[in-house]
C-alpha cells in the first residue's frame, strides 16, 4: 500500500497569501528543505521571512493515498490557486499556464521546470516566460 501524501500550501504570515503549493509524505519535514531548493524567487521569499523572524504558514490542503493521485491533486490545486489570483512561486515568474497555451519565448530561466527532479510534477503545464514544458 502506498503511503499517504499531503498536498500543502505555504502562506505568507504577513498577508495570508498562498505563495506555494507542494506535495510530500511529510509536509513539515519538506518545509525545512524548501530553503535550499526551488526557484530563486521562492528562496528569496523564505529568506525575507526568515530575516523578519517569520516562517511561512503550512496548511495541509488534502491527505491522499498514492503518489500519482497526490500529484494530480497538487496540479489541480496549483491551477485553482492561480485562477483565483494567488501569486504562486512554484514558477519563478509566478505564472503557470496550461500546456495547450503558447509561451512568449523559449530559453532558459531559473524556474522549477528546469529542475529535472521536479519534471514529473509539472507535466501538462509550462513556464509562461521560458516555455519550459514538462
What CATH number is given to the structural domain containing 68?
3.40.1440
Residue 70 forms part of a structural domain: yes
Count of domains in the chain? 1
- Assess if residue 112 is contained within a domain: no
Name the grid cell of 57: 504558514
CA distance 25 to 8: 10
pLDDT averaged over 10-residue windows placed end to end, the chain, 134 residues: 90 95 90 74 88 95 93 89 85 43 41 53 53 48
Q: Is residue 101 part of a domain?
A: no
Q: Can you give the residue range of the structural domain that contains 74?
A: 4-95
* Burial of 3 from C-beta contacts in 10 A (0-12 / 13-18 / 19+): exposed
Q: pTM of whole model > 0.85?
A: no
Amino acid at each position: 500500500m502506498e503511503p499517504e501524501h499531503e498536498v500543502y500550501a505555504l502562506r505568507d504570515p504577513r498577508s495570508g497569501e498562498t505563495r506555494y503549493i507542494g506535495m510530500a509524505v511529510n509536509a513539515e519535514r519538506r518545509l525545512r528543505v524548501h530553503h535550499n531548493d526551488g526557484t530563486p524567487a521562492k528562496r528569496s521569499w523564505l529568506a525575507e521571512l526568515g530575516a523578519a523572524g517569520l516562517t511561512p504558514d503550512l496548511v495541509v490542503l488534502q491527505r491522499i493515498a498514492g503518489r500519482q493521485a497526490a500529484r494530480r491533486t497538487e496540479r489541480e490545486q496549483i491551477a485553482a490557486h492561480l485562477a483565483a489570483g494567488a501569486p504562486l512561486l512554484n514558477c519563478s515568474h509566478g505564472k503557470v499556464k496550461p500546456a495547450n497555451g503558447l509561451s512568449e519565448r523559449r530559453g532558459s530561466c531559473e524556474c522549477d521546470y528546469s529542475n529535472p527532479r521536479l519534471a514529473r510534477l509539472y507535466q501538462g503545464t509550462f513556464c509562461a516566460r521560458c516555455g519550459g514544458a514538462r
